Amino acid sequence: MRVVLIVEDELLELEFLRSVVSDELLAEDKVITCQSGAEAVKLAKQYRPDIIFMDIRIPEMDGLQAIEEIRKFLPQACIVILSAYSDFSYAQKAIRHQVQEYLLKPIKPAVFKQTFRNLLANIAKSKEPTGQEVDQPKSQIYFIEKSIKYIHDNFKQKLTLQMVSAHVFMNPQYFSRIFKKEVGVTYTDYVNKLKIEYACKLLKTTNYPVYRISSECGFTDPSYFNRVFVQLMNMTPKAYRRKHLCESTEISRQ
């Protein structure tokens, strides 16, 4: 389980940050929010977050003071400062407190999302095996689930293993090995199965020629599409369409 603490006293900004963070996490992960520095220290002691987003200008205790207190018991936490001020003295203090990022408001959603993904990746990399294999099922499952969601959203286009592994910030070889271990099939077999299932749907519901269906499913080579289709369906795309038409005709006559 990953724990993220967001400290922000502007409610609209807080809800925006919470929304982006929640979209990137799993159900088992936890997002905690508060609006003051003193409360941030209290919650950090209680929940020991992995990642902290800290506004500077907050009530009771400013963000930098809160970070200084939190660093005493959470030296390894990833901390990002959120500030409307580009004051150099703030940046100096942020460096002293080993802050990972200093984001200036207004924060663009794409920038914030990428920053958060980078932090998640850094956490995972710090736990990746070096030398002997170490069992880290939670970390592996998290990134595989994220990669599967990305695959399902994008399989209709050309989608290489390198593209997917980059999306979840993993080494391609390591991603390939973990994907096979967790999913039970290779990355290529998993993606091709989705593509061919979609091809079958198009063969049933459209009059598109086979070469167009190949393109609609993200294949750049129609002959390779045919080979994959035959491998999975034990017949050619044209034979599959004829079979479906015959079956539909028989049903309509009954």
pTM score above 0.75: no
Encoded tokens for 55:
């506004």
Domains 3-126 and 189-253 share a fold: no
Q: 10 Å Cβ neighbour count for 122?
A: 14
Using 50, 70 and 90 to split pLDDT, how confident is the model at 137? low
For 203-251, the DSSP string reads: HHH----HHHHHHHTT-S-HHHHHHHHHHHHSS-HHHHHHHHHHHHHHH
Integer Cα distance of 70 and 60 in angstroms: 15
Q: At what angle do helices 137-154 and 172-183 cross, to 10 degrees?
A: 90
Encoded tokens for 207:
């009059």
Mean pLDDT of 224-234: 96
Residues 189-253, CATH architecture = Orthogonal Bundle (1.10)
Q: 23-76, pLDDT tens digit by residue?
A: 988 888 999 999 999 999 999 999 999 999 999 889 888 899 999 999 999 988
Residue spans per domain, the chain: 3-126, 128-184, 189-253
Superfamily of domain 3-126: Response regulator (3.40.50.2300)
Residue of 50, 71, 173 whose CA lies nearest to 122 = 50
Mean pLDDT of 137-166: 85
